[in-house]
């Protein structure tokens, strides 16, 4: 149970920190942090939580990561469902707290986006569904490669959180203009529930693509890792 609670609070922090930076701090021309700041914020949430709860739950914070680690032989199947439930619950809790903060500003409109992920007219730069699908698959695939490589017993000890956090930052720098960057079905779900419109209609892609990408990344890493051992 403590592992699941750790995942809940870790994912809560990811959504509050990452999506919160986008909703509360990104859009001011003079002092706003912009896309670069949002990308860094998402990376920092994972980096900080990896050090805080990595030794408790593994700090997945992401259903696609849990599924990918299972596919990579690093995670037991019987813990997948409770991990995913905890992650989605934490993401929703983070979105609720962010909503309560954001509604304190006159003129706030949750239906405008609320840091939700989207494609087509709801992509930050108008990218198509196919572009979004490819982006989310490939970015999540690379994220799993980074995670599995950085946490391999042969990798330098204690450095995994830095590699994973910077990896997620780079992923956001690439893909925010395309989909607002998901690579995490829980992160997408938490804010989509409160947006309660087009984000829910397009949410299927941000479950399907990250899961496919995570499984591909895990399979690729298992192959290249086992080749090295041979």
Residue 92: CB atoms within 10 A of its CB come to 21
End-to-end CA separation in angstroms for the chain: 38
Q: What is the pTM of this model?
A: 0.93
Residue ranges of alpha helices (H) inside 105-230 are: 129-150, 160-179, 185-195, 198-201, 205-229
Find tokens 């199947």 and name the residue. Answer: 77
Decide: 12 and 94 in contact? Cβ < 8 Å: yes
The total number of structural domains that make up the chain: 1
- Which structural domain range is residue 113 located in? 2-229
* Listed residue (187, 161, 162, 182) closest to 172, CA to CA: 182
pLDDT tens string for the chain (230 positions)?
A: 899 999 999 999 999 999 999 999 987 656 678 899 999 999 999 999 999 999 999 999 999 999 999 999 999 999 999 999 999 999 999 999 999 999 999 989 999 899 999 999 999 999 999 999 999 999 999 999 999 999 998 888 889 999 999 999 999 999 999 999 999 999 999 999 999 999 999 999 999 999 999 999 999 999 998 865 54
DSSP 86-119: HHHHHHHHHHHHHHHHHTTSTT--GGG-TT----
Under DSSP, is residue 184 helix (H, G, I), strand (E, B) or coil? Answer: coil
| Length of the chain measured in residues | 230
CATH number, position 41: 1.20.1080.10
């Amino acid at each position: 149970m403590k592992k699941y609670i750790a995942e809940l609070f870790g994912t809560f922090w990811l959504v509050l920190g990452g999506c919160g930076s986008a909703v509360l701090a990104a859009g001011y021309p003079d002092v706003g942090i912009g896309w670069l700041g949002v990308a860094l914020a998402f990376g920092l949430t994972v980096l900080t939580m990896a050090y805080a709860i990595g030794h408790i739950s593994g700090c997945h914070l992401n259903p696609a990561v849990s599924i990918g680690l299972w596919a990579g032989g690093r995670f037991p199947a019987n813990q997948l469902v409770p991990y995913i439930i905890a992650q989605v619950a934490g993401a929703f809790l983070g979105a609720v707290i962010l909503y309560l903060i954001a509604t304190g500003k006159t003129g706030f409109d949750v239906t405008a986006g609320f840091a939700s992920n989207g494609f087509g007219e709801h992509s930050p730069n108008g990218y198509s569904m196919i572009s979004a699908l490819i982006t989310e698959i490939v970015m999540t695939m690379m994220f799993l490669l980074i995670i599995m490589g950085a946490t391999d017993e042969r990798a330098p000890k204690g450095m995994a959180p830095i590699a994973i956090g910077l990896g997620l930052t780079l992923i956001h720098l690439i893909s925010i203009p395309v989909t607002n960057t998901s690579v995490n079905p829980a992160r997408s779900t938490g804010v989509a529930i409160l947006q309660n419109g087009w984000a829910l209609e397009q949410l299927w892609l941000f479950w399907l693509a990250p899961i496919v990408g995570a499984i591909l990344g895990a399979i690729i890493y298992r192959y290249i890792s086992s080749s090295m051992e041979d």
